[in-house]
Amino acid sequence: MKTLNLSAVSYLNTYPFVYGIKQSGFLQDYNLFLEVPSMCAERLKSGEADIALVPVGALPDFKNYHIVSDYCIGAVRQVVSVLLLSHKPMEKIKKIYLDFDSRTSARLVQVLAQAYWKITPSFKRLQPGEAEDATEREAMVAIGDKTFAMRNLYPYSYDLAGEWISFTGMPFVFAVWVSLKPVPKEVLTQFNNALKFGVQNIEGTLDFFRTRLPKNADCSQYLSENISYPLDKAKKEGLNLFLSYL
């Protein structure tokens, strides 16, 4: 196979995957692009990536796709980095601004609003970079490393993974590794081994990325407890339920 082009998320939650890809030695001939979740889907769609870590909210945009890994970005409890931040209590929210960086969180908050919270706010998607400067807005969904600092700027904070789990009793999957074209089995085996290496070496990951870690987060706890990486049967069921709402 030609050089394998990979697109992954540039957030803390993906660092174990990146560490495994770069440091395990299982993958040799590859290019790795790091970007916000929404751009991972676009790079796969354009053919620039052979495998991408795609937000599950973008999966309905693909006619044919293959989930190619035993690992994902998931949660079986509060995830702490995907939040609805608000200056008002839930029942008084009239408008929610949506972080540009992720399709999944935007769709998740709309599912929760309609099916679980029973509220009918309007929604507006922010432009790239606007989420960091949105503290004056009534309510907004924010994702990623910026949330570790932003959550203290709002009196109300709702963890979207926690809300989904309370609603359904199922885990939530935020992103999965996807290809649109067949990838040789031996390459997928190497790829999965690399991801496994990273997931099993959280302390090595933290040391490797020590100069890039968010200052407002307990990074070890976040990667070990808040993010759940195995794409097991329960997560697949939760994923399928979420996709059924879309």
Check residue 129 and give its pLDDT. 66
Indicate the CATH number for domain 4-74+173-245. Answer: 3.40.190.10
Q: How far apart are CA 70 and CA 125, in angstroms?
A: 32
Instruction: Provide the angle, in degrees to the nearest 10, between the axes of the packed helices 185-199 and 15-23.
Output: 120
pLDDT band of 99, cuts 50, 70, 90: confident
Cβ–Cβ under 8 Å, residues 196 and 71? yes
With a cut of 80, say whether residue 107 has pLDDT above it.
yes
Check residue 133 and give its pLDDT. 62
Tell me what the mean pLDDT of segment 131-160 comes to: 85
Q: What is the pLDDT of residues 172-208, one digit of tens each?
A: 999 999 999 989 999 999 999 999 999 999 999 999 9
Q: Across-strand partners of 150?
A: none
Residue with tokens 């968010």: 214
With a cut of 60, say whether residue 1 has pLDDT above it.
no
With a cut of 60, say whether residue 221 has pLDDT above it.
yes
Between 209 and 127, residue with greater pLDDT:
209
Check residue 130 and give its pLDDT. 65
Can you read off the two tokens belonging to residue 137? Answer: 């807005």
Between 152 and 78, residue with greater pLDDT:
78
Q: What is the dihedral of CA 3, 9, 13, 18, to 10 degrees?
A: 20
Tell me what the mean pLDDT of segment 31-53 comes to: 92
Between 191 and 100, residue with greater pLDDT:
191
Q: What is the average pLDDT score of the chain?
A: 93
Can you read off the two tokens belonging to residue 38? Answer: 């929404």
With a cut of 70, say whether residue 23 has pLDDT above it.
yes
pTM score: 0.93
Q: How far apart are CA 172 and CA 187, in angstroms?
A: 28
Check residue 151 and give its pLDDT. 86
Tell me what the mean pLDDT of segment 97-125 comes to: 92
Residues carrying CATH 3.40.190.10, the chain: 4-74+173-245, 82-168
Check residue 103 and give its pLDDT. 83
Check residue 126 and give its pLDDT. 84
Identify the CATH homologous superfamily for domain 82-168: Periplasmic binding protein-like II (3.40.190.10)
Is residue 52 exposed (0-12), middle (13-18) or buried (19+ Cβ within 10 Å)?
Answer: buried
With a cut of 70, say whether residue 132 has pLDDT above it.
no
Q: How far apart are CA 203 and CA 209, in angstroms?
A: 10
pLDDT band of 36, cuts 50, 70, 90: confident
With a cut of 80, say whether residue 29 has pLDDT above it.
yes
Q: How far apart are CA 215 and CA 230, in angstroms?
A: 27
Between CA 137 and CA 70, with CA 226 as vertex, the angle to 5 degrees is 115
